[in-house]
Amino acid sequence: MASMERKQGICSPFIQRRNTVRKTSAEIVSEARQSLRVQSTQRPFTPRDGHRQLFGKSFVRADRDNRPPSTFSLHAQHFDAPDSRPGSGTRLSPLDHKPNLPVTCDAQDPFKAFPRPPTDPLEVKRGLPRARARFLRAGSLTTLSPVEGHMDERLNPGPRQKQPSAKGLPSTDHSEVRSGPHKPGPRRTASERIKQPGIRPTECGAGRGTELRNGDTTTSTEEDSESLVWNNTIAPLLRQLESVAAGSNEGSVDHLCDLCEGLHGTLAGSDMLGRRCKRRSGILRTLFRLIDLNSAQLNLHIAKLCLALCISGNNLLNICKLSFQISRSESNDILFHNNSIIDSFLGVLSNEDVSSSGEALLYCVGTLKFLSGNNAILRLLLEKNCIGVAQNLIQRLCTAEDTNFTIAGHILVQLTATLRNLADHPDSRPVFISFSILSELDVVLRHHRRDPDICTNVSRIYSKLSSYSECRLALAQTPDCYQLFLELLSIHHQKQTNCTLNKDLVVRFLFTLGNLTAKSDDARQQLFQCEGCMDMLLQLYVTYQRRDDSAHPQKGPPSPSGPQASAVSVQEDEDVLVKLVRVLANMCIHPAVGPALATNTPCIQLLMETLELKSVQESEELLVNVAATINNLSFYQEESSVLRRSQLTISKLMLKLLLSSSMDAMLEATRVYGNLSQSKDVRDFIMQNKVHQFVVTLLDSKSTEMCFSACGVLTNLTLDPPNRLSLSEEGAAAKLVDCLRDFGAGDWQLAGQVCQALWNMIGGGSEKLLDTQERASLLEILTTYLDEEEAPKWIENEDMRDYHRACWELEFLPVAQKVMKMLQPPDRTA
């Protein structure tokens, strides 16, 4: 009988059960309450950057002096003279002579033919400055030569259509050009040239006469239609824009915005957006001049229209910088929300090339980064497929040539920060998965593994998304992600140990690893089997373990922020330890990993050192995680276990947790005692140091988990007959009966553990430890609970009834029947 008692006594929740007869039910039970505990922790907090900058103060890019600025001055003079085709980017010097260029005609594109030079020497003389202007350095628009805006009248002879002259607008009558020699009029001033909304004839425009000579009536009809729209609608709108801008007053900005919207609508309705409008340069000139009015609302309308006209080169860069400049002020977010320009930004990201428009892409993505901090715009970005656009851009950036590696890195800093904000929205998670963003970011990390800014942003995305099962699965399926994370921890741990950004990166990758290993046995094993896994984790443990102040002497002059900065640094180090220890606790749940860690002397020593150096009051979460790890490791009681040889030392260290005011610390310490108390030496330590008295009081807790753990300790303590009387004197038997009555019907595992403790305490002839009233109460409770038809029905949640029935059959029924049989008086009639 005694041997049976001992066997039943150690069959507690802290000993692994092997029941091959009812394997299915046992698996159901073990899923709900394991002796090996998965540790959870809070996701690292990422404070919001109050200053909207490309690279905030926390960024540590190596090329700090050469990185693009967040602040700059931008005016109309910074824009290039518009042309019908993008510039080559090469500045040419003006020619000193008039070359004799042969007139050639491309058979496939007759519009590329050069126009014949005028025969009139005066025309040649007057045309030279205009020809040279295209090769002069782009500068202030005030230096550009005026260009007539009604070339159709010259190319299409017919009745002259004289437009009423407006201030600053030239007459459309070109009779003076077609007449004989004449005296040229006075030279126009720079300000008059600015106000002239004409456009320069481009190659396509200059070839219009050739078109007509070739008899292309279709193209001629289209140009006539465009000229009609231009003369009747667009030109008047441009004149209005200039007129309203010239008489700027309080209400003129709204009027100008309306005019820009009208102009945009007219161009769209006439299919003249993009580069399809032959006179787009005239439109752009007018728009660029309005930028100097310095209105965020107006400039945003100008930016949208310029992007719709497919600007390129320096003009594209400046428009992106202009939009970036507007987005830096949070008060302007409403302007972006009420404007469809976000579609234009996404178009730029989709179509522009990194090699030719890298800096423009940088400021465009930077704008979206700022805007994604606004919840309303964040939702808008999701609806407009920003994540899909980001995926496409990531792929192009990761395949960029080496010469563009630096600018690609700058763009990725902004793009990953944008994705970090998007990851906050719950609706983004399915989109992240459908576009394989997690695996794309893995590629980013491999290409830019030494860039702390990119790696930190990606670690923030992973730490957010890995809290959700579907994202964990997607990340776990990324090949070699565990090895990559360990490599990144090694690289950035070695680079700057005291850097705050470095700690942000380390703590988030550890948090992600903790999430991955929380629910997956495969993840636990894969991580442990990575090359150098334990060496890396223990190296981090040593680095961030604050042994004492003398071990970390302060070098150089004291920090201006003094003790406050030091306290923040200590807290950051401790947060790293919290996440790291959680990874260890989760890893050792695996049946192959746990025994290996239990024999790892440096690992056990570091855990014990943390218990010794830290206080519950200052480091509660860390000590709770350490206790949970030790509890999991104490499950493996092999002879080679380092923890088994140190169990008395650990029992002493657990006292500070058990006697603290933290319920979480008490609970974990009780669980550790439940496993360690399998040892006779530990049981003696518990009784000699009056720990059993505290454990008995825990039965009064309203927490079922606390009662369950306390019952586990009592189950082992009652293995020794001398302890039974001591426990009874503390009222343990009565409290166990109360616990069974209060919680048993809702938790059959707890009910079974209470019966196990009672069996060990009063069995084998010790039933006299229960008084008459306690015995009657216990009989009544057991009689009710052993009703096979009724007991499992008490669970209101129908989804949990199968689980509770399995617990009732496996955990409660066998031991409850034994206790019931012991309490019932013998049948004298038999």
- Answer with the residue of higher pLDDT: 531 or 795: 531
- Comparing 217-231, 415-429, 732-746, the range with the smallest average pLDDT is 217-231
Stretch (H or E) spanning 595: helix 593-598
Q: Which pLDDT score is estimated for 220? A: 64
Q: Which of these, 602, 660, 603, 653, lies nearest to 627 by C-alpha position?
A: 653
Q: Which pLDDT score is estimated for 664? A: 95
CB 749 within 8 A of CB 32: yes
- What share of the chain has pLDDT > 70, as a percent? 70
CB 669 within 8 A of CB 8: no
Helix (H, G, I), strand (E, B) or coil at 825: coil
Residue 106 in this model has a pLDDT that exceeds 80: no
Hey, which bits of 178-272 come out as E strands?
none
518-573 pLDDT, tens per residue? Answer: 999 999 999 999 999 999 999 999 999 864 443 444 444 455 455 565 677 788 88
Q: Which pLDDT score is estimated for 89? A: 46
Q: Which pLDDT score is estimated for 6? A: 29
Instruction: Please state the rounded mean pLDDT for residues 87-100.
Output: 51
Stretch (H or E) spanning 78: none
- Answer with the residue of higher pLDDT: 764 or 813: 813
Supply φ then ψ for residue 692, to 5 degrees: -60, -30
Residue 93 in this model has a pLDDT that exceeds 60: no
Q: Which pLDDT score is estimated for 511? A: 97
Domain boundaries, the chain: 480-547+572-582, 727-824
Tokens 């179509």 belong to residue: 351
Helix (H, G, I), strand (E, B) or coil at 508: helix
726-770 pLDDT, tens per residue? Answer: 999 999 999 999 999 999 988 999 999 999 999 998 876 666 778
Other CB atoms within 10 A of residue 809 CB: 16
Which residues make Cβ contacts (< 8 Å) with residue 432, sequence separation at least 6? 387, 423, 438, 465, 471, 474
Q: Which pLDDT score is estimated for 443? A: 96
Q: Which pLDDT score is estimated for 501? A: 60
- Answer with the residue of higher pLDDT: 805 or 352: 352
252-290 pLDDT, tens per residue? Answer: 899 999 999 999 999 999 999 999 888 889 999 999 999
Residue 100 in this model has a pLDDT that exceeds 90: no
622-659 pLDDT, tens per residue? Answer: 999 999 999 999 999 888 899 999 999 999 999 999 99
Stretch (H or E) spanning 830: none
Residue 1 in this model has a pLDDT that exceeds 70: no
- Answer with the residue of higher pLDDT: 710 or 102: 710
Using a 10 angstrom Cβ sphere, with 0-12 exposed, 13-18 middle and 19 or more buried, the burial of residue 583 is: buried
Q: Cα–Cα distance between 165 and 409 in angstroms, integer? A: 53
Q: Which pLDDT score is estimated for 784? A: 92
Q: Cα–Cα distance between 388 and 399 in angstroms, integer? A: 17
Q: Which pLDDT score is estimated for 216? A: 53
- What share of the chain has pLDDT > 90, as a percent? 57
Q: Which pLDDT score is estimated for 618? A: 92
Q: Supply the mean pLDDT for the chain.
A: 79
Residue 155 in this model has a pLDDT that exceeds 90: no
Q: Cα–Cα distance between 769 and 766 in angstroms, integer? A: 6
Residue 425 in this model has a pLDDT that exceeds 90: yes
The answer to whether the pTM exceeds 0.85 is no
CB 712 within 8 A of CB 14: yes
Q: Which pLDDT score is estimated for 499? A: 57
Calculate the alpha carbon distances from 254 to 257, 259, 460 in Å. 5, 9, 41
